[in-house]
Amino acid sequence: MIPGFATHTVDCAGLPVHVATGGSGPAVLLLHGFPQTHAMWHSVGPALAEHFTVFAPDLRGYGATGKPEGTAPYSFRHMAADQKALLRHFGIEHCHVIGHDRGGRVAHRLALDAPDVVSTLTVMDIVPTHLLLDELTRQVATAYYHWFFLAQPAPFPETMIGHDPDAYFESCLLGWGAAEISDFDPGALDAYRKAWRNPDAIRGMCADYRAALNTDFDLDAADLHRQVDCPALVLYGADGAMAGVYDIPGTWSDRLTNMVYSAIPGGHFFVDQHPRETAQALLDFLTKHR
């Protein structure tokens, strides 16, 4: 539900991927996070589409994209491969890749696994997955308890969440710094609610977090020596939970060799809270590397 965008369902190696597209010019890939869908880009997408061709898919397990069984298919490596297949479908060889939350982790993995595809990398309000888990602090475990709740064996978290999906997922939207429900566009909220009320989506989101602990941690451990060399932007919410615990740019300094960074007003969901500031920060960065 991005104004002016068309929607498609693309077969990516057997996985149906739902994607919204709009604009013209160099390609930009927008990747959403938990517990949202591509609808989070409802304001930022059209601003970028004035200068770029924008692709905004739902990640596997989320929204209207396919939801495989099991845990292994939900690694960030699999999700990154989906994006590469999606771009290939549209004939895109190089792309600016932007990801918020889980989408930022997918974007980072895509830059590691397919550096020839990623022209620039933008990660939003995350610290590296391996660092967060390997150096877990009491403050982070308290703020981001959902990592460990969602990763519990099925069907425990699915059953608990399924009793009232709106109550659980809306608590997530409000739980990571400086957000009120009024900060979220009513149309986007409707899209999120429709998506997360689907039991298969609840299962897929839980599998995403199980894969982070069971698969992605080890993949990232094996790649700690590797760096991303393309131009990179680190954006984060000035009042978010992570900014209160970490020097967020500092956590990326040994992973991104050509990095700039900026704080945006608001918390973890600053894209929803301050879309104009977010879009301007992205345009300033992308136009320098057009």
- Catalytic residues, by residue number, are 101, 268
- Kindly give the interhelix angle for 165-174 and 186-196, rounded to the nearest 10 degrees: 130
**In angstroms, rounded to a whole number, what is the distance separating the alpha carbons of residues 35 and 246?**
22
Q: In the 8-state DSSP scheme, what is residue 137?
A: -
- Distance (Å, rounded) from C-alpha 165 to C-alpha 156? 14
Tokens of 96: 């600016």
Q: Of 235, 227, 264, whose CA–CA distance to 98 is shortest? A: 235
CB 125, CB 235: distance < 8 Å: yes
In angstroms and rounded to an integer, the radius of gyration of the C-alpha atoms of the chain is 17
- The structure tokens listed for 161 are 């969440």
Residues in the chain: 290
Q: Which residues of 260-279 are buried (b: 16+ CB within 10 A; e: fewer)?
A: bbbbbebbbbbbbbbbebbb
**Helix, strand, or coil (residue 197):** coil
Signed CA dihedral, 241, 243, 237, 205: sign only: negative
Is the Cβ–Cβ distance between 274 and 235 less than 8 Å? no
